[in-house]
Structure 1
Amino acid sequence: MMKQQLQVMLQLQDEINSVVNSDWRGQQFPWYRAIWVESAELLDHYGWKWWKKQSPEMDQVKLELVDIWHFGLSLELQHGAPAAVAERMLAELDTVPPAAGDFREHLEAFTLNTLASRSFDLGGFAQLMADVELNFAELYQRYVGKNVLNRFRQDNGYKDGSYVKNWQGREDNEHLAELSRALDSAAADYSEQLYLALEARYRSMAVA
């Protein structure tokens, strides 16, 4: 199941990147820089200020990890087709035992490794997942949801500014979360089901 879900995510990432730019591999976009910026946003949601009381906003922390995963998959896909990349990633994920320590220090190590190598520190990411109890099944569900929403936005005018993000007083990601809970994320066509459900609601609300 994990291998299949990883292949699905890689394929979806390849597809959304191609929607944005058909020659995205040739552009050599600085995905590592996007990971660096997302890591800083993640740290803000987790909390780092010693002069005020802060509690981790765990849902937001997980959302930021999913955003980082998007960029990490893109970096991995620079090296080959989804099927081949999945084999290598799966092997590395299976050999990374989580270590004890502070999440913020693990995040800093992950970010440092990403900037130094300009590649995806998969072992470091697996450590961050373990730190916040984000298992692979939840990562998959959250990733597919965000990927579907990104694709839906692109298909409905996000690039030219005509897309309407608020649907009758609620943001599109709220509708996405509601729809995703009603579907089986283990289904082989989960992403297609979610896209169609999102599209049906968007049209029914006459916001397009």
Structure 2
Amino acid sequence: MIKQQLQVMLTLQDDINTVVNENWRAQNFAWYRAIWVESAELLDHYGWKWWKKQQPEMDQVKLELVDIWHFGLSLELQQGSPQQVSETMLLELESARRAPGDFRENLESFTLNTLAGKQFDLIGFAQLLADVEMTFAELYQRYVGKNVLNRFRQDNGYKDGSYIKNWAGREDNEHLAEITSLLDSAATDYSDQVYAALQERYRDLALA
């Protein structure tokens, strides 16, 4: 199951990067820089201020982890096709099953490794998932939803400003959350189902 889900996510990431820029691999974008900036935002949502009471905003924490995963997949895909990359990643993930630890310290280690190597610290990322008790299945569900929404936005005028983000008084990501809660993420055509449901709602609510 993990192998199939990983290949799906790598393919989706390759597709969305190609939509944004046909020659994205040759551009050598600084994906690592996006990761450490997202890591700082992630720490803010988790909480780090000792002078005030803070509770982790777990939904936001998980959303930030999904954003980091987007950039991490892009870095991995610089090395080859989704099929090629998935084999190496799968081996690393299988060796990276760990017990939950200190999230803040592990996040700092992950960020340090990212900056030092300008690569994706997959094992460090797996540790962060363990720290917040986020399964790979949940990562897959959240990632596919966000990726499909990004693709849907691009296909419906996001770049030229014609896309409508609020549908019947609610933002598109709220509709996405509702849609994904109703679908079976184990289905082989899960991403296609999410896209079709978004398309139907957009037509009925935003363009009505």
TM range (shorter): over 0.9
- Following superposition of structure 1 onto structure 2, how do residues 135-150 of structure 1 map, counting pairs within 5 Å? 135-150=135-150
Alignment partner, residue 115 of structure 1: 115
- Find out whether 1:167 has 2:167 as its counterpart: yes
Q: Cα offset for 1:162?
A: 1.4
- Following superposition of structure 1 onto structure 2, how do residues 52-201 of structure 1 map, counting pairs within 5 Å? 52-98=52-98, 101-201=101-201
Q: Cα offset for 1:97?
A: 3.7
One-letter amino acid of the counterpart of residue 145, structure 2: G
Alignment partner, residue 205 of structure 2: 205
Superposition RMSD in Å: 1.1
- In the alignment, is the contact (CA less than 8 A) between 2:168 and 2:206 conserved in 1? no
What is the aligned residue count? Answer: 208
The answer for unaligned runs of 5 or more in structure 1 is: none
| Residues in 2 aligned to 1:182 and 1:21: alpha-carbon distance in whole angstroms | 32
| Residues in 2 aligned to 1:161 and 1:33: alpha-carbon distance in whole angstroms | 26
1:46/1:91 CA distance change after superposition, 3 Å: same
The alignment's TM-score, normalised by the length of structure 1, stands at 0.98
CA distances 1:34-60 after superposition (whole Å, capped 9, x unpaired): 001110110010000011110000011
| Residues in 1 aligned to 2:76 and 2:60: alpha-carbon distance in whole angstroms | 24
Q: Quick one: percent identity of the two aligned structures?
A: 77
Q: Cα offset for 1:182?
A: 1.1
| Residues in 2 aligned to 1:71 and 1:14: alpha-carbon distance in whole angstroms | 11
- Match of 1:29, SS state, is coil
The answer for unaligned runs of 5 or more in structure 2 is: none
1:205/1:105 CA distance change after superposition, 3 Å: same
Q: Cα offset for 1:177?
A: 0.6
1:43/1:200 CA distance change after superposition, 3 Å: same
Q: Cα offset for 1:99?
A: 5.1
- Match of 1:79, SS state, is coil
CA distances 1:134-174 after superposition (whole Å, capped 9, x unpaired): 10000000000000000001111111111111111101000
| Residues in 2 aligned to 1:99 and 1:8: alpha-carbon distance in whole angstroms | 26
| Residues in 2 aligned to 1:134 and 1:59: alpha-carbon distance in whole angstroms | 11
Q: Cα offset for 1:122?
A: 0.3
| Residues in 2 aligned to 1:85 and 1:61: alpha-carbon distance in whole angstroms | 26
One-letter amino acid of the counterpart of residue 190, structure 2: Y
Q: 4+ residue runs of structure 1 moved beyond 3 angstroms?
A: none
| Residues in 2 aligned to 1:40 and 1:166: alpha-carbon distance in whole angstroms | 28
The alignment's TM-score, normalised by the length of structure 2, stands at 0.98
One-letter amino acid of the counterpart of residue 103, structure 2: F
